[in-house]
Structure 1
């Protein structure tokens, strides 16, 4: 073999593995983000992150789920996705008791599943990517306690039974329990309908005297703008205003902070969750664990997976609002 030929062989041995690594992906690899109420700005932002990661890898990404709050509808969408035998699924769990068996079935079929935004820890999902929702609630609770000076009547807008919202509520209550002068009057089930939240807010705002509601807290993203509209109308009619703390950073919520209607909001990173999530399930697809689905990774000291990837949480108010709005404008988003 000539020196020249040897050089070609060495080059091929060196380069081919690199080329193989660069071309391991294809459009035939299909990844799904499954959630509920896909029309919400929150999920549109998440899908942007999911698509960005898919574009970088050269794979196919889709968002699936009902366009209203419908946990059973999410289950049906999840089953449909599993039947198509995708490369992997990222799912936000609206109802853990409904979705956990479906997740387990997908894992048993060899389809990697990672939860994001809202978890199902009792399932065999590989791990969770998202907000530390207990921390998010505690952050909000500290804000409420400070703004109320430790005294007042508080109500919550949520959907009981949704894991992430239940954790947020617990975080708030953990903090508020240290303030005897703050009373949690009611935890209102808005049933996934921000219009229902708005109607209930108007009722709360009409209460007087000892029954006066001093703070309204939204644990779900869509409620903030509609509860905020109720507060705006009340102020226009002479109400001195109430403390309103929202969730997430859709443009409508941020505008209400700018207008002085919403005091603050708890910010998550749905774009990041989905961006990191697709890359994570892609990695499992290409480098599958032989024991996936058969091992309790939460107890395994040599687990190949983390238990939880925390994407962060922060409080947004007028002091840092401008930078958030500028970043959204630079990204070209209206969500």
Structure 2
């Protein structure tokens, strides 16, 4: 007959195991989200997702990065985050050539790094979470072809050198390659300032004849509203405006008819899943952080987590507007 002591020990074991599992997380576990243009509502949404995951897992979330588009400042914030020796870093890469050494240094120091929104594929980050930007560009390109009837000049607003924006542009080019009567007149570098998009739109709206611009395409979130403003002021309602992301102003312009459509992304999901994945990696560390798992057919890590994208126009804009309103409550 087993002793009372053994029975008590056996009875307590499940409780002890439960307490041990609950203690997995701690406020001392710190995870960073690093990006640029943090003043944009897009990034505020991503931060909300990141913080929500931190609350669920009972860990500490820290946000770092400049309010404006400043890759050099982002690098400085990344270096500070690495020096703090966090449990993991989630980063959106404004300039791959500039930030790659910092990402590699973080991994060498034993800090897991995942990229989100904008990738650094040549770095030692473990994997990327975000939009399939080439596919999203193709989705937008198809709508432009439909609206222009396969003919007309287009102008893009972007920040060349930022990986996700360059990939979006490539997606449009893929579609336009089979429609040679659609010409790209310019890819305007707005340099992180939507006012540059407004000024250039006003200038291009004065051009006529073979130089007439039929469509303005915004590859990032901030310029859609300002381009729509310029089009409205000059009463150029025959021009097509394609925006990016589901800012409230953008959705309003779609309802109004000034913006034809926008491409929706899921920054909240990127932030939430990013912290969730970093937490898993921290508690189940791989043998090596520096290994290229993309060429390992038996790796437990993906190469890319696609958070999804969609085209939003008058047919479905109310759905997205309702979701955005509920999220703000």
TM normalised by structure 1 equals 0.96
User: CA RMSD, aligned part only?
Assistant: 1.2
- Residues in 1 aligned to 2:70 and 2:88: alpha-carbon distance in whole angstroms: 23
Q: Does 1:40 align with 2:36?
A: no
Contact in 1 for aligned 2:263/2:311 (Cα 8 Å): yes
* 1:108-142 deviation line (CA, Å, top 9, x unaligned): 11111000000001100010000000000000000
Determine the structure 1 residue equivalent to 2:186. 186
Determine the structure 1 residue equivalent to 2:54. 54
State the SS of the aligned residue for 1:188.
Answer: strand
Name whichever of 323-332 and 275-284 sits farther off. 323-332
Q: Does 1:315 align with 2:321?
A: no
- Residues in 2 aligned to 1:22 and 1:323: alpha-carbon distance in whole angstroms: 38
Unmatched runs of 5 consecutive residues or more in structure 1: none
- Residues in 2 aligned to 1:275 and 1:138: alpha-carbon distance in whole angstroms: 26
Q: How many residues align?
A: 329
Determine the structure 2 residue equivalent to 1:111. 111
Contact in 2 for aligned 1:198/1:230 (Cα 8 Å): yes
- Residues in 2 aligned to 1:213 and 1:11: alpha-carbon distance in whole angstroms: 77
- Residues in 2 aligned to 1:246 and 1:223: alpha-carbon distance in whole angstroms: 8
Unmatched runs of 5 consecutive residues or more in structure 2: none
- Residues in 2 aligned to 1:201 and 1:20: alpha-carbon distance in whole angstroms: 60
Determine the structure 2 residue equivalent to 1:159. 159
Determine the structure 1 residue equivalent to 2:279. 282
Determine the structure 2 residue equivalent to 1:99. 99
* 1:67-89 deviation line (CA, Å, top 9, x unaligned): 11111000001001111111110
Determine the structure 2 residue equivalent to 1:226. 226
* 1:207-242 deviation line (CA, Å, top 9, x unaligned): 11221100000001111111111111111xxx3431
* 1:143-194 deviation line (CA, Å, top 9, x unaligned): 0001111111111000111100000000000001111221111111111110
Call closer, same or farther: CA 1:4–1:231 in 2, change over 3 Å: farther
Q: Does 1:132 align with 2:128?
A: no
Name whichever of 323-332 and 10-19 sits farther off. 10-19
* 1:192-215 deviation line (CA, Å, top 9, x unaligned): 110111111111111112211000
* 1:294-315 deviation line (CA, Å, top 9, x unaligned): x111111121210000000100
TM normalised by structure 2 equals 0.97
Contact in 1 for aligned 2:237/2:258 (Cα 8 Å): no
- Residues in 2 aligned to 1:8 and 1:221: alpha-carbon distance in whole angstroms: 61
- Residues in 1 aligned to 2:151 and 2:17: alpha-carbon distance in whole angstroms: 65
2:251 to 249, 254, 257: 254
Determine the structure 2 residue equivalent to 1:17. 17
- Residues in 2 aligned to 1:28 and 1:283: alpha-carbon distance in whole angstroms: 16
- Residues in 2 aligned to 1:244 and 1:11: alpha-carbon distance in whole angstroms: 68
- Residues in 1 aligned to 2:35 and 2:193: alpha-carbon distance in whole angstroms: 16
- Residues in 2 aligned to 1:240 and 1:143: alpha-carbon distance in whole angstroms: 17
Name whichever of 17-26 and 74-83 sits farther off. 17-26
Determine the structure 1 residue equivalent to 2:264. 267
